[in-house]
Amino acid sequence: MATGDALFPIMYPVTGFKLGTTSAGIKTPGRSDLVIMEIAEGSSVAALFTKNAFCAAPVIVCKEHLVRCSPRYMLINTGNANAGTGEQGLLDATHSCSALATSRGVDINAVLPFSTGVIGEYLPMDKLIAGIPQAVENLSEQGWEEAAQGILTTDTRPKGSSRQYGDDDLVTITGISKGSGMIKPNMATMLAYVATDAFVDNELLHRALTIATEASFNRITVDSDTSTNDSVVLVATGANGVAIDEVSFDTFVDQLSQVFTDLAQAIIRDGEGASKFVSVVVEQALSKAEALSVAYTIAESPLVKTALSASDPNWGRILAAVGRSDIPDLDVNLVQIFLNDVLIAEHGSRAETYSEEAGQEAMQSEDIEIRVSLSRGDHNETVWTSDLTQEYVRINAEYRT
């Protein structure tokens, strides 16, 4: 199950960034599950990682390597998260980097490892290492769609976004992501890789990554679970000769944020078992934190999410979620709640203009907006989520079988 258009977009290649994908048989024979990304020498690289204290071995190794060396390769496997694997997991992540580094003649620290899949199982190193030569052979600047397929786990479809802007100085930004369950990134998403051919120095690139992530991957939740492996990487190859500076920075970030938002929303549209794409908009809050507190309380309420699944306009569940979102001195008489454009509650009770028929009609849509006006400030925030279906339960109950 998924919502929205399943068509994979046109992906503009990024000069200086290549992707190669193969099947190593890590979990399912014949399925693409190993991806190598080659970064041109001299590129800038920025990354953000999960805040989960039980972060996976590859996350630990990535952080160490980023401090020591400018990355030249990224090695991604699916089917196994290499998380909760202790010292052996660290050795395996390092060994995989060494194997790729040796084959490409680079320092081991120039390789960044990433894994996604089942937690608590050791990597099948013989299969992973054996798959590296074929993935290297497949390296191509045109390899985005194959790579998008190769990083999936419970996802039902690949996720990509690509855009170009500028006239004489054309800038390309292209990226892919994966994620379907265990989604409340709290920094990024399960895995996301975005590249641009512009030149962006390390300081500006990290700033751009942080801003774009905050507006996109940090605004989604499927099930409120932050993964052990969440990672997002932004690469700037500089191959087109266009330098992003303080003057052009805002325009670049606007374009980058669009790509990030496309990828983040694609994760929600492909949320495990999802049949609804839900925008939770909170307006007129006293602060950003207050708006997000209300939005996430609604978006992560099992009662709200199951009502959405059933297309049931049970507005009392939304009202209750707003009321328990820890907002001090909230005047409930000033709160308004809308389903799409239908006013369902105000003055602390059902709106006089509301009818069950109007609410039912609003809930039939695949895309639904829950909008809450707190009428106490000027801060607005949006969180994207999905509904909670029986299919979500089935997928996760059978995840290891």
> Is residue 190 very low, low, confident or very high in pLDDT (cuts 50, 70, 90)?
confident
Nearest residue to 80 via CA among 39, 113, 49 = 113
Q: Which of 189, 196, 221, 261 is catalytic?
A: 189
Two structure tokens written together for 353: 């203009």
Domain 277-397, CATH among 3.10.20.340, 3.40.50.720, 3.20.19.10, 1.10.3720.10 = 3.10.20.340
The average pLDDT across 252-263 equals 98
Asked whether 150 and 19 are in contact (CB, 8 A), the reply is no
- Its pTM stands at 0.94
> Is residue 224 very low, low, confident or very high in pLDDT (cuts 50, 70, 90)?
confident
- Compute the half-sphere exposure of residue 169: CA atoms within 13 Å on the CB side of its CA: 10
Report the chain's C-alpha Rg in angstroms: 22
Q: How far apart are the first and last CA of the chain?
A: 19
The C-alpha atoms of residue 299 and residue 301 are separated, in whole angstroms, by 6
pLDDT given at position 32? 97
Asked whether 366 and 277 are in contact (CB, 8 A), the reply is yes
Collapse the DSSP code of 12 into the 3-class scheme (helix H, G, I; strand E, B; otherwise coil) and give the result: coil
- Compute the half-sphere exposure of residue 72: CA atoms within 13 Å on the CB side of its CA: 18
Does position 399 have pLDDT exceeding 90, yes or no? no
Per residue in 79-113, pLDDT (tens digit) is 999 999 999 999 999 999 999 999 999 999 999 99
pLDDT given at position 271? 81
* Catalytic status, residue 189: yes
Does position 187 have pLDDT exceeding 80, yes or no? no
Asked whether 111 and 72 are in contact (CB, 8 A), the reply is yes
The C-alpha atoms of residue 276 and residue 313 are separated, in whole angstroms, by 13
Two structure tokens written together for 265: 């929303």
Mean pLDDT of the chain: 94
Q: What are phi and psi of 347, to 5 degrees?
A: 55, 30
Does position 1 have pLDDT exceeding 80, yes or no? no
The average pLDDT across 193-208 equals 98
pLDDT given at position 299? 96
Does position 401 have pLDDT exceeding 70, yes or no? no
Instruction: Describe the strand order of the beta sheet including 73-80 as a list of residue ranges.
Output: 17-22, 34-39, 73-80, 111-118
Chain centre distance of CA 329: 34
Does position 188 have pLDDT exceeding 70, yes or no? no
Fold of the domain spanning 17-269: L-amino peptidase D-ALA esterase/amidase (3.60.70)
Per residue in 342-362, pLDDT (tens digit) is 999 999 999 999 999 998 999
The C-alpha atoms of residue 168 and residue 253 are separated, in whole angstroms, by 19
Going from N- to C-terminal start, the domains of the chain cover 17-269, 277-397
> Is residue 189 very low, low, confident or very high in pLDDT (cuts 50, 70, 90)?
low
